[in-house]
Structure 1
Amino acid sequence: MHKYLITLLMLIFACQSQARDQIRIVGSSTVYPFASFVAEEFGSVSRYPTPIVESTGTGGGMKLFCSDNSMDSPDITNASRRIKIKELDLCHRNGVKNITEVMFGYDGIVIAQDKDNAEMPLSKLELLLAVAKKVPNKTNDGLIDNPYKYWNEINPKLPKREIKIYGPPVSSGTRDAFEEIVLQYQTEEMKVYRDAGLKGYRFIRTDGAFIPSGENDNLIVQKLTKDKMALGIFGYSFLAENSDSIKSVDIDSVTPTAANIANKSYPISRSLFFYIKNDHKETLPAMEEYVAMFMDEAIIGMDGLLTEIGLIPMDTDSIELNMTRVSENINVSQDELEKAAAAH
Structure 2
Amino acid sequence: MAIMLKNKHVFTLLVLVILIVSKSASARDQIQIVGSSTVFPFSTAVAEQFGQKTSFKTPVVESTGSGGGLKLFCSGIGEETPDITNASRRIKEREFNKCIQNGATPVEIKVGFDGIVMSSAKEGIVLNLTHLQIFNALAKKVVVDGELKDNPHRLWSDVDSSLPSVRIEVLGPPPTSGTRDAFVELVFENGAKNVEMLSAIRKRDKKAFEKIAHAIREDGAYVETGENDNLIIQKIKANPSAVGILGFSFFDQNSDKIKGASIAGIQPTFDNIASGDYPISRSLYFYVKKEHVGIVPGIEEYISEFTNEETWGDEGYLAEKGLIPLPKADREIIAKKALSFEPLIM
Task: Give your verdict on TM over 0.5.
Answer: yes
Q: How many residues align?
A: 322
Cα distance in 1 between the residues matched to 2:221 and 2:21 = 49
Is the 1:17–1:72 Cα contact (8 Å) retained in structure 2? no
Query: What corresponds to 2:192 in structure 1?
Result: 187
Question: Which residue is equivalent to 2:153?
Answer: 148
The one-character-per-residue Cα deviations of 1:277-336 (angstroms, maximum 9, x if unpaired) are: 1111121241011001001111111111011111111121111111122133222222xx
Q: 1:158 aligns with which of 158, 163, 185?
A: 163
TM-score (norm 2): 0.89
Residues 207-256 of structure 1 deviation map (CA, whole Å, 9 limit, x = unaligned): 11000101010000000011210100010011111112111010100000
Read off the aligned partner of 2:188 and give its amino acid letter.
Answer: L
Q: Is 1:123 matched with 2:130?
A: yes
CA positional deviation for 1:14: 6.9
Please say if residues 81 and 174 of structure 1, whose CA atoms lie closer than 8 Å, have aligned partners that are also in contact. yes
The aligned residue for residue 61 of structure 2 is 53
CA–CA distance in 1 between the matches of 2:193 and 2:141?
Answer: 14
Computed over aligned residues only, the root mean square deviation of the Cα atoms, in angstroms, reads 1.7
SS at match of 1:199: helix
Displacement of 1:95: 1.1
* Range moving further from structure 2, 313-322 or 44-53: 313-322
Counterpart among 120, 123, 133 of residue 113 in structure 1: 120
Q: 1:202 aligns to what?
A: 214
Counterparts of 2:165 and 2:153 in 1: how far apart (Å)?
Answer: 11
Q: Is the radius of gyration larger for structure 1 or structure 2?
A: 2
Structure 2 counterpart of 1:46, one-letter code? T
Distance 2:194 2:136 in 1: 15
**Tell me, which stretches of 5 or more residues in structure 2 are unaligned?**
1-15
Distance 2:141 2:200 in 1: 14
Query: CA–CA distance in 2 between the matches of 1:87 and 1:12?
Result: 29
Q: Distance in 2 between matches of 1:63 and 1:261?
A: 29
Structure 1 letter corresponding to 2:292: H
Instruction: Write the distance in 2 (CA, Å) between the matches of 1:258 and 1:225.
Output: 22
Q: 1:296 aligns with which of 308, 330, 346?
A: 308
> Separation in 2 of the partners of 1:212 and 1:220?
9
| 1:19 and 1:283 in contact (8 A); partners too | no
Shift of 1:136: 1.4
Q: Write the distance in 2 (CA, Å) between the matches of 1:40 and 1:313.
A: 20
The 3-state SS of whatever aligns with 1:298 is helix
1:246 lines up with 2:258 in the alignment: yes
Q: Secondary structure at the match of 1:179?
A: helix
Mapped to 1, the partners of 2:235 and 2:192 lie a distance apart of 30
Instruction: Name the CA distance, whole Å, in 2 between partners of 1:119 and 1:34.
Output: 29
For residue 157 of structure 2, what is the amino acid of its counterpart? N
Confirm or deny: 8 A CA contact 1:143 1:193 kept in the other structure. Answer: no
Structure 1 partner of 2:144: 137
Shift of 1:189: 5.4
Confirm or deny that 1:287 pairs with 2:294: no
SS at match of 1:305: coil
The structure-2 alpha-carbon separation of the partners of 1:183 and 1:269, relative to structure 1 and needing over 3 Å to count, comes to same
Q: Secondary structure at the match of 1:332?
A: coil
Q: CA deviation at 1:124?
A: 1.5
Unaligned residue ranges in structure 1 (runs of 5+): 1-7, 335-344
Seen in structure 2, the aligned counterparts of structure 1 residues 44 and 184 have a Cα distance that, compared at 3 Å, is same
Deviation at 1:203, TM superposition (A): 0.7
Q: Classify the secondary structure of the residue corresponding to 1:233.
A: strand
Q: Which position in structure 2 is the counterpart of 1:4?
A: none
What is the CA distance between 1:188 and its match in structure 2? 4.2
| 2-structure distance, mates of 1:83, 1:254 | 29
Query: 2:177 — aligned with what?
Result: 172
- 1:268 paired to 2:294: no
Amino acid of the residue matched to residue 238 of structure 1? F
